[in-house]
């Protein structure tokens, strides 16, 4: 019987500098005998830096090449600590950064999202080439796989949708033979490609989702996300000091919590794993001996209250200009505009005379939304808000939150509660 592969996903923090990369290699030495696929994010804050390059080029500020040079130097500094001066990885990485220079040599593309994907995707290409070279130098045989040769998407740049059938076929053709040869296979998170071979991205922080795609296609034994946190907590310990770590979660609970804003796992990650009953482990690269959190189809008898905060929220208070009801006809108009503006809705509540909608504060989109419905509807926008979502809420917890926060709107559905509050 063929050995089933495991999929490991490492995020940017795990490879932020030379010491971190060495730590990843030490972890991987324990898995020499595994059929292992490694999915890697861009190093450290590289994606943020690449986004600034995209903005500079789009606005023609003249700073794009300077910003690119600074980013290249950061990567070369890390490589200088890992490799001999004449290692071939330097030429490989330089050739990859040249792909950005080609974009910057041209006028800004009319489609900002298309241009974004061609530039920002380079972060993952570079990080995987550096880690691949280092692992091979550490006597850990590793093959480099271009994720764009596997993950086929549509042309919705920055939020591309996976074409599952074709992606599975490409995996069997391009990835499975590499796994069968033995050693590790390293590939990129976050990126895919269209049928015409234009690079796409799967949404910000989409590397978890990429790992789930590869796990699904490989029918993997398990998937592990290596993070700086020891596992999944009942709430973000930075904001809720009493949060506890969960050793077990069900798929459905994890899906609910990511939907409501928990940032430990990307929103789309759990679905593909649930379909094939693939266990998901969340472990710490800082404490690799710890077991972390395991997410499976097994139900857990009792959970503590689980809290997730969506920050940077705007509450849209929408009412009819003639003071009558907001009807289904208005709903159609409202959500058509929201869809066209690609606004991200996090909360909806309808009352007889008012429709409340929470969305992420995405620059000018709120003003554009209000302008497009102003003929029939009034829009008041309240900013500086957060949305607190609570699973397994208790009366005591809700009472405590009301004491600590100013609550604008509250909605409860059984033991699930949503509170729109002013930022603390």
Q: Is 190 annotated as a binding residue?
A: no
- How many domains does the chain fold into? 2
What would the two tokens of residue 167 be?
A: 């992606």
Q: Looking at residue 157, what is its pLDDT?
A: 97
Q: Is 168 annotated as a binding residue?
A: no
Helix spans in 4-83 (H): 18-28, 46-59, 64-82
Q: What is the CATH number of the domain that holds 61?
A: 3.40.1160.10
What would the two tokens of residue 388 be?
A: 């607190």
The helix or strand, by DSSP H or E, that contains position 284, with its residue range, turns out to be: strand 280-284
Asked whether the beta carbons of 144 and 129 are under 8 A apart, the reply is yes
Closest C-alpha among 299, 307, 278 to residue 392: 307
Q: Looking at residue 82, what is its pLDDT?
A: 98
Are residues 319 and 407 located together in one domain of the fold?
Answer: yes
Q: Is 11 annotated as a binding residue?
A: yes
Q: Looking at residue 324, what is its pLDDT?
A: 77
Compute the Cα dihedral for 17, 291, 9, 234 and give only its sign: negative
């907590």: which residue's tokens?
A: 233
For the chain, give percent helix, strand, coil, nearest 5: 40, 25, 35
Query: Mean per-residue pLDDT for 331-352?
Result: 92
pTM: 0.92
User: Is residue 69 a part of any domain in this protein?
Assistant: yes
Inform me whether the pLDDT recorded for 1 exceeds 60.
no
Task: From 192, 227, 262, give the residue that closes a domain.
Answer: 227
Q: Is 9 annotated as a binding residue?
A: yes
User: Is residue 297 a part of any domain in this protein?
Assistant: no
User: Is residue 90 a part of any domain in this protein?
Assistant: yes
Model confidence at 75, pLDDT cuts 50, 70, 90, reads: very high
Q: Is 124 annotated as a binding residue?
A: yes
Q: Is 182 annotated as a binding residue?
A: no
Q: What are phi and psi of 77, to 5 degrees?
A: -60, -45
The helix or strand, by DSSP H or E, that contains position 271, with its residue range, turns out to be: helix 270-275
Model confidence at 286, pLDDT cuts 50, 70, 90, reads: very high
Model confidence at 79, pLDDT cuts 50, 70, 90, reads: very high
Give 424 or 419, the one with higher predicted confidence.
419
Are residues 207 and 354 located together in one domain of the fold?
Answer: no
Query: Mean per-residue pLDDT for 42-49?
Result: 97
Inform me whether the pLDDT recorded for 192 exceeds 70.
yes
Q: What percent of the chain stands above pLDDT 70?
A: 100
Inform me whether the pLDDT recorded for 31 exceeds 50.
yes
Strands 6-10 and 355-360: unpaired
User: Is residue 67 a part of any domain in this protein?
Assistant: yes
Closest C-alpha among 143, 186, 177, 140 to residue 32: 140
> 404-417, pLDDT tens digit by residue?
999 999 999 989 99
Are residues 209 and 92 located together in one domain of the fold?
Answer: yes
User: Is residue 243 a part of any domain in this protein?
Assistant: no
Model confidence at 2, pLDDT cuts 50, 70, 90, reads: low
Asked whether the beta carbons of 141 and 183 are under 8 A apart, the reply is yes
Domain that holds residue 34: 6-227
Inform me whether the pLDDT recorded for 351 exceeds 50.
yes
Q: How distant, in Å, are the alpha carbons of 133, 321, 332, 373, 411 from that of 328?
A: 58, 15, 6, 14, 21
Q: Is 328 annotated as a binding residue?
A: no
Q: Looking at residue 302, what is its pLDDT?
A: 92
How many angstroms separate the CA atoms of 335 and 332, rounded? 6
Are residues 15 and 142 located together in one domain of the fold?
Answer: yes
Mean pLDDT of the chain: 95
Inform me whether the pLDDT recorded for 3 exceeds 80.
no
How many angstroms separate the CA atoms of 197 and 199, rounded? 6
Q: Looking at residue 369, what is its pLDDT?
A: 96
User: Is residue 408 a part of any domain in this protein?
Assistant: yes
Query: Mean per-residue pLDDT for 108-126?
Result: 98
User: Is residue 295 a part of any domain in this protein?
Assistant: no
Give 3 or 334, the one with higher predicted confidence.
334
């Amino acid at each position: 019987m063929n050995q089933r592969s495991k999929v490991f996903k490492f995020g940017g923090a795990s490879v932020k500098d030379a010491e971190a990369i060495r730590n990843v290699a030490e972890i991987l030495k324990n898995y020499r005998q595994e059929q292992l696929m490694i999915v890697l994010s861009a190093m450290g804050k590289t994606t943020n830096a690449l986004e600034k390059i995209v903005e500079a080029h789009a606005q023609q500020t003249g700073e794009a090449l300077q910003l690119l040079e600074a980013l290249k130097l950061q990567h070369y500094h890390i490589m200088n600590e890992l490799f001999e001066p004449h290692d071939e990885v330097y030429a490989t990485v330089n050739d990859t950064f040249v792909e950005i220079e080609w974009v910057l040599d041209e006028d800004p593309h009319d489609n900002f999202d298309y241009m974004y994907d061609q530039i920002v995707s380079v972060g993952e290409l570079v990080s995987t080439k550096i880690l691949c070279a280092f692992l091979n130098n550490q006597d850990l045989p590793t093959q480099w796989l271009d994720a764009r040769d596997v993950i086929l998407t549509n042309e919705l740049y920055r939020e591309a949708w996976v074409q599952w059938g074709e992606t599975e076929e490409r995996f069997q053709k391009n990835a499975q033979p590499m796994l069968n040869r033995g050693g590790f296979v390293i590939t990129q998170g976050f990126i895919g490609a269209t049928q015409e071979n234009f690079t796409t991205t799967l949404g910000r922080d989409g590397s978890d989702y990429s790992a789930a795609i590869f796990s699904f296609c490989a029918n993997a034994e398990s998937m592990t996300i290596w993070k700086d946190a020891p596992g999944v907590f009942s709430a973000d310990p930075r904001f809720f000091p009493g949060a506890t770590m969960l050793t077990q979660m069900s798929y459905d609970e994890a899906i609910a919590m990511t939907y409501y804003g928990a940032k430990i796992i990307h929103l789309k990650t759990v679905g593909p794993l649930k379909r094939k009953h693939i266990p998901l482990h969340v472990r710490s690269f800082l404490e690799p001996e710890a077991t972390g959190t395991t997410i499976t189809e097994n139900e857990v008898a009792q959970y503590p209250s689980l809290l997730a905060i969506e920050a940077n929220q705007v509450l849209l208070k929408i009412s009819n200009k003639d003071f009558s009801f907001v009807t289904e006809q208005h709903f159609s108009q409202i959500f058509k505009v929201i869809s066209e503006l690609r606004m991200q809705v996090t909360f909806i509540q309808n009352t007889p005379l008012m429709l409340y909608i929470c969305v992420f504060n995405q620059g000018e989109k709120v003003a554009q939304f209000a302008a497009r419905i102003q003929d029939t509807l009034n829009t008041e926008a309240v900013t500086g808000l957060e949305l607190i979502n609570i699973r397994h809420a208790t009366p005591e917890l809700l009472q405590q939150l009301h004491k600590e926060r100013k609550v604008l709107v509250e909605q409860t559905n059984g033991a699930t509660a949503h509170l729109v509050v002013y930022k603390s």
